Structure 1
């Protein structure tokens, strides 16, 4: 289906032309027909000679209704610029053309109407001159008369050529249907209409409302006035919704594929139009069928930051226009460069940001986004309209290759520095490293670990790091002769201090597995439990605590926690009379 919007000055015959081509009445309201002018959007369609269908979005031409006109033009891929032969180029002709140019509409036709009332040549020549410097500079031109029928066959043929020349939209894209009408049908409930530019709609689909995030279900679809089960782009479509009241959705809202769009209220854009320095502080942003007030912050020669009065589902590469409603003036068209721009808090941040934006062209670019952001979730890129290819570095995280390599080098430096300042610890905790590298998740630190580093028990250390710190190894060596002679005699506190085993050193020795902490500072060699079982197995079974203490040649301070440990390990079993027996062979 070819969907085109009409454009042109009030009373230049746009609705008459649509009515003649389609045999349908595009003016929906009695007030419009009585006044002879389109106030709101009208819709009509017909079949072209090739068998293709053309649907018209007939927009108002009066200056008071330019916002209505923009709601109809915004989502469509092509336009028919209408100029009356007997009146020629007029003020609203210029504003409508400026709007189309700002939105980047490059496909369409120039139609000179009322060729029966005046020579269409002068009007055609002037209109051609006006279109030359715009996105519609190359469109075909046709002169017609809705009264005599002259030129209508040529117009239908031109519409066929226009339809054949339009790029093919993707039905696999997520749905973003801008709502241009919302009403209630008795027995059906809420119905909205819009131009489906990409994506596919099916009966039963679950979507969300952009403004509220409410889930809705597609109860029914109508295309060209007929019910259907599925609609592919480009198409005018009416969607019967289940799960939403009529007063919860209005023009400018959108139906979205869930999870594929982010709602943004801050964007960086490139402006083509008025000088950035001359822009007022407040303008209105027109995108899709929405019109939202924005505050304008100039950044560079042709770039600005817009803060929206309400969030919209915008994507990188979206085209929109800025308009000053007080002056009835189009300030220019904008291309969305970034839908998640960084804050500008430091002195000079705006100038630095302008330099970055100068390198961006408004086309979704995965490599560029990764280069600028370093690290970003794939889902966030998809919600910004950036196609995602390649493999994540961790979970859903994508990284710029150079940034990832730099992070790896910084990790080595951070681990080395931590080892220097914490020589008794067996590596740097992952949580500490996450903070030092400024990473959002612990898993990213773990994904960065590679030779010459290793990850053990939540800590990162050099792969060749001795698990026993040198001061600890030296202190334990001083106790080795004592442990050899009497392995179950725990050193007293003064002896531990004498060999250099303070609290930190003891903790390091226990973590390294060279000492066993029974309780507090009651320490034994690491193999003491196994050796104790062999000694206890030689006693008559069952045995008492006293017998165990004597056999182990130790004190009650050691024997009690040691036997409790053996109980927990299942090496011994405590009986009801508080005696014990060795379990096992």
Structure 2
């Protein structure tokens, strides 16, 4: 039977570690810091004996965004993933990022584990399950089994064990061919034994007494002892979680991220030829010389991207890259990896290695080759323009040009000064901006604002924060401010924390005023019962655009579908504040009785108040939130 390794994934505090303890009796939060903070920081390991006597390894990976690199380190060799979701919270941002990472790493076998089900109202649980299925409809988890559990009461644990066993019997045996290779994820010393490392054996097998080579240092060591699931064995095979007691090497000579291999010919490299898939939501895609974080094996290495054969790889697209690394790595063809943005950190792409030790641009003709040729011919200004226009970040600092071109400031500065005087480049306090790049940004901004004006004809303009949010995928905060300043010369105007095209003016005619009165009358009649937008649209042909204009003014959008009159909502807030002041807390039933509304209506209103921090949910009741006090 195949060796099985199970991984967990999910948002912080959704119960991964507690679930594993319920399944195995093993506490995977081992450090005092993890226990103090109540979150997994490093990888946790356990094993599970299934009813069929098969023992499987479990890797408990961190859920917090700051520890994503530790999560990725635990995924090589994973056969099955338990996606853990809190029944009270549903899918969260880190849950989505974990799904993206798992998919990009080629994992396709999942079980969805709903946790803490005995702590939530059954109606809320059903809404959460429905939302989970809806959000996962277009992912590899669309048909995954969903098991409802509670690690404290024991609900669903036996069912989960049965499902894990069912999946374990379907896993195919890994190929044992190739030189044994292990990515080190932990290093420690055991008194009387010396240096011990752990990791998942990716290829081949390792035997006691066998020599291994450490990369990138290329130090030679010997296997003194092997453990698999805390049991001494003579050899370990591909796919097994393994602990190796090593001879002739100290703990300070080996670190997490290093690679151990039977082969002494594994090659360290400064660059990789890869094929990637860029996530659809990554605005701007991946361009020339983007600085990214490469997560591969148990390492995180900074790298620069060079698209091969194209100028850039757009959102949702596949393509070839050459990665220029800032540190050497020892990897093999077909190893999978994740790319994350440098700052702010978020997952942008993933893929597999096609050539683990390429020459520069050996596989394909690329645009950068033309730039290098231009440099050889002395056309430094053309190379500067090419670099500034083709890299994803529009603003370019002088030091980036020096690093890329390999020229000193005394050679670079006169050319930049000339390009600024000619109008080809704009000099700003956050860097240089090619005129062509500024025009693209200005066109993009005009498209955003024009679409906003068309959709919201009765609003002065787009809220500045929304505009900034829409541009954050392209620019840093300070760069957005500089762009707005540049555009205010002739393209945009700004007032009351809103931004608009200079030629846009709000008009409100008598027909729209009539529609406004119909909407507000209908909402007032419904009182505490939220109304679907579609029902309001039937009141007047102008109702749709008028209702959008009233959002945040006299109407509150509880969800994308349901709305409530602003006066009614304000009245509800006052009633809740009064009730909680008197009774210290309030349940959903209390609010329903207080407003004489349905359970569904009450839930819609209270959940919106939770999001606005007017109220705060604690177990099955609510107290006042920060904005409700």
TM-score (norm 2): 0.53
| Shift in Å, 1:54 | 2.1
**What is the aligned partner in structure 2 of residue 289 from structure 1?**
298
| Shift in Å, 1:325 | 4.3
Alignment of 1:264 onto 2:281: no
Gaps of 5+ in 1: 355-585
Q: Is the 8 A contact 1:75 1:289 kept in 2?
A: no
**What is the aligned partner in structure 1 of residue 164 from structure 2?**
159
Alignment of 1:99 onto 2:101: yes
Q: Is the 8 A contact 2:76 2:202 kept in 1?
A: no
| Shift in Å, 1:127 | 2.9
**What is the aligned partner in structure 2 of residue 176 from structure 1?**
181
Q: What is the 5 A alignment of 1:31-430?
A: 31-118=33-120, 119=122, 120-259=125-264, 261-273=266-278, 274=282, 276-278=285-287, 281-299=290-308, 300=310, 301=313, 302-344=319-361, 349-350=365-366
Summarize deviations over 1:200-252 as a string: whole Å, max 9, x none. Answer: 11101111001111111101111111211111232111100112110111111
Q: What is the 5 A alignment of 1:450-489?
A: none
Aligned mates of 2:139, 2:289 — CA distance in 1: 24
Aligned mates of 1:247, 1:167 — CA distance in 2: 38
Summarize deviations over 1:123-177 as a string: whole Å, max 9, x none. Answer: 3333334434334444322111112212111100111122122221022332110
* 4 and 310 in structure 1: CA distance in 2 versus 1, 3 angstrom threshold: same
Q: Is the 8 A contact 2:77 2:239 kept in 1?
A: no
Aligned mates of 1:86, 1:43 — CA distance in 2: 27
Aligned mates of 1:56, 1:217 — CA distance in 2: 27
| Shift in Å, 1:288 | 1.3
* 232 and 74 in structure 1: CA distance in 2 versus 1, 3 angstrom threshold: closer
**What is the aligned partner in structure 2 of residue 532 from structure 1?**
none
Q: Is the 8 A contact 2:267 2:357 kept in 1?
A: no
**What is the aligned partner in structure 1 of residue 598 from structure 2?**
none
Alignment partner of 2:354: what SS? strand
Summarize deviations over 1:304-334 as a string: whole Å, max 9, x none. Answer: 1101222222222221110114222101112
Q: Is the 8 A contact 1:114 1:146 kept in 2?
A: yes
Q: Is the 8 A contact 1:105 1:136 kept in 2?
A: no
**What is the aligned partner in structure 2 of residue 549 from structure 1?**
none
Alignment partner of 2:131: what SS? helix
Q: Is the 8 A contact 1:84 1:123 kept in 2?
A: no
Summarize deviations over 1:276-312 as a string: whole Å, max 9, x none. Answer: 4457611011111111111111223422110122222
Alignment partner of 1:26: what SS? coil
Summarize deviations over 1:403-426 as a string: whole Å, max 9, x none. Answer: xxxxxxxxxxxxxxxxxxxxxxxx
Q: Is the 8 A contact 1:102 1:334 kept in 2?
A: yes
Q: Is the 8 A contact 1:181 1:250 kept in 2?
A: yes
TM-score (norm 1): 0.57
Alignment partner of 1:161: what SS? helix
* 110 and 203 in structure 1: CA distance in 2 versus 1, 3 angstrom threshold: same
Structure 1 range deviating more: 228-237 or 182-191: 228-237
Q: Is the 8 A contact 1:192 1:240 kept in 2?
A: yes
* 6 and 183 in structure 1: CA distance in 2 versus 1, 3 angstrom threshold: same
Alignment partner of 1:51: what SS? coil
Q: Is the 8 A contact 1:222 1:238 kept in 2?
A: yes
Q: Is the 8 A contact 1:169 1:197 kept in 2?
A: no
* 345 and 249 in structure 1: CA distance in 2 versus 1, 3 angstrom threshold: closer
Alignment partner of 1:116: what SS? helix
Aligned mates of 1:229, 1:67 — CA distance in 2: 32
Aligned mates of 1:101, 1:215 — CA distance in 2: 36
**What is the aligned partner in structure 2 of residue 535 from structure 1?**
none
**What is the aligned partner in structure 2 of residue 545 from structure 1?**
none
Larger Rg: 1
Aligned mates of 2:154, 2:222 — CA distance in 1: 45
Q: Is the 8 A contact 1:284 1:322 kept in 2?
A: yes
Alignment partner of 2:100: what SS? helix
Aligned mates of 1:353, 1:161 — CA distance in 2: 53
Aligned mates of 2:213, 2:134 — CA distance in 1: 45
Summarize deviations over 1:89-142 as a string: whole Å, max 9, x none. Answer: 111111111111121111221111111122443333333344343344443221
Q: Is the 8 A contact 2:184 2:260 kept in 1?
A: yes
Aligned mates of 1:327, 1:91 — CA distance in 2: 15
Aligned mates of 1:139, 1:37 — CA distance in 2: 26
Aligned mates of 1:343, 1:283 — CA distance in 2: 18
| Shift in Å, 1:182 | 0.4
Large movers: runs of 4+ above 6 Å? none
Gaps of 5+ in 2: 314-318, 371-629
Alignment partner of 1:89: what SS? coil
Alignment partner of 2:118: what SS? coil
The alignment yields a C-alpha RMSD, in angstroms, of: 2.3
